[in-house]
């Protein structure tokens, strides 16, 4: 499943999860970020068979699991330099 189709199919649940993360103070996370997480990480090798299980997994995502993924992305991405990182978003 590609990111764009995932984003369109689960728009409501992704917006709900983004809203939940925003309420926790993580305002830079967007639906595209969560679609990237599910398409390229969580469901890359094992897509749940039914729609209900996919929705449950979206709803059960917590901020720690998402940041584990972001941490892995940062460690394996060779294209980002220190000049590209906007540290002001962290404060």
Q: Mind listing the pLDDT tens digit for each residue in 53-71? A: 999 999 999 999 999 999 9
Q: Mind listing the pLDDT tens digit for each residue in 16-50? A: 999 999 999 999 999 999 999 999 999 999 999 99
Q: Mind listing the pLDDT tens digit for each residue in 12-24? A: 999 999 999 999 9
pLDDT at 76: 83
Is residue 6 predicted with pLDDT exceeding 90? Answer: no
Is residue 2 predicted with pLDDT exceeding 90? Answer: no
List C-alpha distances in Å: 9 to 22, 24, 39. 21, 25, 12
- Cα 16 to Cα 43: distance, rounded to the nearest angstrom: 19
Cβ 58 vs Cβ 14: under 8 Å: yes
- Nearest-5° Cα angle at 72, 90 to 17: 65
């Amino acid at each position: 499943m590609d990111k764009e189709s995932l984003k369109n199919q689960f728009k409501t649940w992704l917006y709900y999860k983004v809203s939940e993360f925003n309420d926790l103070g993580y305002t830079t996370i967007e639906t595209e970020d969560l679609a990237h997480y599910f398409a390229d990480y969580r469901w890359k090798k094992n897509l749940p068979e039914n729609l209900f299980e996919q929705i449950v997994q979206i709803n059960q995502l917590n901020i720690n699991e998402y940041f584990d993924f972001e941490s892995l992305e940062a460690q394996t991405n060779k294209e980002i330099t220190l000049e590209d990182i906007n540290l002001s978003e962290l404060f």
